[in-house]
Amino acid sequence: MQTPAPTDYVRATSVAHAISLLEEHGEESRLLAGGHSLIPMMRLRVARPEMLIDLQELHELRGIRIEGDEIVIGAMTTHADILASPVLAEHYAIFREAEKVIADPVVRNRGTMGGSMCQADPSEDLSAVGAALKGTVVIQGAGESRTVAIREFHEGPYETKVGPAEILTEVRFPIRPGAGSAYEKVERRVGDWPVASVGAYVVVSGGVVSDCGIGLTAVGAEHFCAPGAEAYLIGKPPTEESFAEAARLAADSCSPSSDQRGPADYKSHLAKELTHRALRRSAASSQGA
C-alpha cells in the first residue's frame, strides 16, 4: 500500500489567496491542481509537501478562450476540456491529436494544462505542443504577472521558471491563419509516457514554407524544440526532401537516453521519423489537403 506522508490541506479561494498561502507556508507547500502527477509522487514519497494548496475553486483559471490573436488556455483546464474544445480543433489539430494519446480518458478528466506544464516532466507531451506552437505562459506572483516563452520556461527536468510563491495562471498560443499542425507519438501501450513524440505546425504560402514550429519530447531536445531544423525549412518548398532534411536536423539536435522505453538510437530514429511525419501532415493540412 502506498500512502503519502502526512500533510496539511487548504483550499485557495482566489489566485491572490493561493499566492498568500504559498508565502505563508513557504517552500514545503505545493499547489494541487488535478493531482495526477503530484499525488503519485507523494505516494512514492518522492514528494513530501507539508501543505497542499488546492486550486479546485479557482474556476476563473478553467476554460479556453480567444483573446485578440491568441488562444488562451487557463491553467486549471483539464486534458478532457482541451480534447473536446471546438476552438482548439478549429485552429490547431495538434491539440486534439496530442490529447488523444495523453494518459487515458479517465486520467484526462483530472489532469490539467497548468499541472502538466509545471510538473515539467522531460517526457511531457504538452511541453512539446507548447514548444512547437511557440506559446507563452503567464506567471503570477504577489506583484505584477509576467509572460515567459514556453521555449524558455523549463530550467531542466521537473524545474521551471515558476518561483516558490508564484502560480502559472494561463498558457497562450498565437493564432496563425493558414497553419496546419499535427502530433505524432509512439508509446508502448495506451496511457504510457512517450518513447518519443513530435508536434509541428507549418504554414505554406506562395509555394514555400513561410513559418513552422517543431516540438519534441522524451528525446532530450533542449527546451523541447528544434530551432535549427525550423530555420532550415523556412523558404523551402514543402517537399519530401525538405521534410527529410529538417527531420534529420531535428533528430541530430536531440540527445535521447537509453532507458526502459528503448535504446537511444531507436529514440533518435523515432525523432527523425516522427518529425518527418508531423511536418508532412502539417504541410498537407496547411495546403488544404
Binding mask 171-210 for another protein (x = CB under 8 A): -------------------xx-------------------
Interaction between residue 40 and another protein (CB under 8 A) = yes
Cell triple for 205:
504560402
Three-state secondary-structure class, residue 213: strand
Binding mask 69-98 for another protein (x = CB under 8 A): -----------x------------------
Q: What is the DSSP letter of 33?
A: S
CB contact at 8 A, 25 and 34: no
- Residue from the set 24, 27, 67, 104 that interacts with another protein by CB under 8 A: 104
- Residue from the set 4, 63, 174, 220 that interacts with another protein by CB under 8 A: 4
- Residue from the set 16, 46, 106, 142 that interacts with another protein by CB under 8 A: 106
Nearer to another protein, 109 or 210 (CB): 109
What are the CA-CA distances from residue 198 to residues 141, 147, 219, 271 (Å)? Answer: 32, 25, 9, 7
DSSP 237-285: -SSHHHHHHHHHHHHHT-----BTTB-HHHHHHHHHHHHHHHHHHHHHH
Q: What is the DSSP letter of 157?
A: T
**Residues numbered 228-257 forming contacts with another protein, rule: CB under 8 A:** none
Nearer to another protein, 33 or 218 (CB): 33
Q: 3: burial class by Cβ within 10 Å (0-12, 13-18, 19+)? A: exposed
Interface ranges with another protein (CB under 8 A): 1-9, 32, 35-36, 39-40, 42-43, 52, 54, 56, 80, 103-107, 109-110, 190-191
